[in-house]
Structure 1
Amino acid sequence: MAAKKEIAVIGLGKFGYALAKALTELGHSVVGVDINPEYVRRAQDIIAQAYQADATDEKMLGQIGIKDLDRVIVSTGDSMEASILVVLNLQAVGVKNIWVKAISEAHERVLYKLGVPFVVFPEAFVAAQMANRLTAPGLQEYFGLGKDVAVREIIVENWIGKTLRDLNLTNKYQVQVIAFRLAGDSEFHFVPQADRALKAGDVLVLLGRTEDIMRVDKF
């Protein structure tokens, strides 16, 4: 079982609300932020705390104490400019673990250039999954590998300078590194080299049983 976390969701529209609700159901403490009072009212009976506030206001983010939370997810609707401003404000107040919902490929590229470690483009992801399932019978979606199988992304922090051979994750944890993304890049690469030294901000994609994959630490 994953450790319970304190997570902020900025933007409580359809995606943000559904995410906040799912995180709460998993036992995490969720702080929601949105400028729309209707969205805040809808969420306040479901999540731990809901604030009606403008997340593009850096001072407001500091007052909420958002930098003390484990993770912050930005889902600000259809405004690329607002999303980028919120990210810059979060970075300014000291938030490092930022996840962002992108609305376009251009938005995704900019976010990675800003140093955002995790970016999700839901529409493109779902469309690609559906296209693959429709045109290639028998091909399973990335996360449809069984109830006890998971895929996890890990940002390289304490593994700087180590290689996959040094980490020996397959033998230690029974998980496999199936892909990687270089720090600052938006594209993933597959079949990672065992002897390449890892750098800060690189992302490793692990595949394995849920129980095993959640045991992997960042020694």
Structure 2
Amino acid sequence: MPKYEIGIIGLGKFGYFLGQSLTDLGHTVLGIDNDSEKIKRAQDVLTQVYKADATDKAALVQLGLAELTHVIISVGHSMEASILIALHLKELGTKNLWCKAVSTEHEKVLKKVGVDHVIFPERFAAEQLARELVIPGLIDYLPLGKGVILQELRVSKWAGKTLRELDLTNKYGIQVVAIKQTGEADFKFVPKANTVLTKEHILAVIGKEEAIKDLEP
């Protein structure tokens, strides 16, 4: 996995935990905030932290934000601040700019400014939770098209058959991406087509939600 140099502007809950996760994954993370308490909390977690007003273009230049591989703007509910910061960064040549939005109107303005990726963390978390509540075995809800999910299926009726015989890809547009035995902690990825299934098997499949829910595995 390549290692990136990532800037996070705004070290509230979302920015802080995003930075912590990226640091844990081995990336270099530079955090910026104008709140001394937030800087203090993040200084032992992120690679580098700076107290600065990111709406000041000169500060962004001094900190070299535009030279980083990714920059994420997460400045709470301040639409004006996030738009101004985004405008400055695009003018400075930032190549991969992400920004947290608080409304669809905010999103529209950010895209007009040139932000590459607009994110709604609360909306995504709510959609994910809703599906986890009502879809047994859901592993993830994927933004690969409407209704694409990654879900666990416990084998019952398919016992004694191979993945080749089931032909799930051609029949249902579903792909088995991993398999494990009941009691095993980890999945084994890309199972062989001649794998004979038993009632002890659990499959991780990816496909359209409506196709998966109609299966009787």
**Pairwise TM-score range, normalised by the shorter structure:** 0.5 to 0.7
- Structure 2 matches for 1:53-132, cutoff 5 A? 53-132=52-131
> What is the alpha-carbon distance in structure 2 between the residues aligned to residue 53 and residue 69 of structure 1?
17
Rg larger for? 2
> What is the alpha-carbon distance in structure 1 between the residues aligned to residue 13 and residue 134 of structure 2?
29
State the percentage of identical aligned residues: 53
Q: Secondary structure in 2 aligned to 1:99? A: strand
1:62 CA drift (Å): 0.2
- Structure 2 matches for 1:129-148, cutoff 5 A? 129-137=128-136, 141-143=140-142, 145=150
1:129 CA drift (Å): 2.1
Distance change >3 Å, CA 121–CA 40, structure 1 → 2? same
Per-residue CA distance 1:160-210 (angstroms, 9 max, x = gap): xxxxxxxxxxxxxxxx9xxxxxxxxxxxxxxxxxxxxxxxxxxxxxx89xx
Extract structure 1 runs of 4+ deviating beyond 6 A.
none
TM-score between both structures, scaled by the size of structure 1? 0.62
In the alignment, is the contact (CA less than 8 A) between 2:6 and 2:68 conserved in 1? yes
Distance change >3 Å, CA 44–CA 129, structure 1 → 2? same
Question: Greater RCO between the two (CA within 8 Å, min separation 6)?
Answer: 1
In the alignment, is the contact (CA less than 8 A) between 1:13 and 1:77 conserved in 2? yes
Distance change >3 Å, CA 139–CA 29, structure 1 → 2? closer
TM-score between both structures, scaled by the size of structure 2? 0.63
> What is the alpha-carbon distance in structure 1 between the residues aligned to residue 83 and residue 108 of structure 2?
11
> What is the alpha-carbon distance in structure 2 between the residues aligned to residue 66 and residue 74 of structure 1?
11
> What is the alpha-carbon distance in structure 2 between the residues aligned to residue 18 and residue 69 of structure 1?
19
> What is the alpha-carbon distance in structure 1 between the residues aligned to residue 36 and residue 77 of structure 2?
18
> What is the alpha-carbon distance in structure 2 between the residues aligned to residue 19 and residue 137 of structure 1?
28
1:66 CA drift (Å): 1.1
> What is the alpha-carbon distance in structure 2 between the residues aligned to residue 9 and residue 146 of structure 1?
32
Matched to 1:145, the amino acid is L
Matched to 1:141, the amino acid is D
What count of residue pairs does the alignment treat as equivalent?
149
What residue is the counterpart of 1:201 in the other structure?
Answer: none
In the alignment, is the contact (CA less than 8 A) between 1:4 and 1:27 conserved in 2? yes
Q: Secondary structure in 1 aligned to 2:141? A: coil
1:5 CA drift (Å): 0.6
1:49 CA drift (Å): 0.8
Matched to 1:66, the amino acid is L
> What is the alpha-carbon distance in structure 1 between the residues aligned to residue 112 and residue 139 of structure 2?
31
Matched to 2:13, the amino acid is K
1:132 CA drift (Å): 3.2
Matched to 1:58, the amino acid is K
Structure 1: gaps (5+ residues): 148-175, 177-206, 209-219
> What is the alpha-carbon distance in structure 2 between the residues aligned to residue 41 and residue 106 of structure 1?
33
Structure 2: gaps (5+ residues): 143-148, 153-174, 176-205, 208-217
1:103 CA drift (Å): 1.3
In the alignment, is the contact (CA less than 8 A) between 1:108 and 1:121 conserved in 2? no
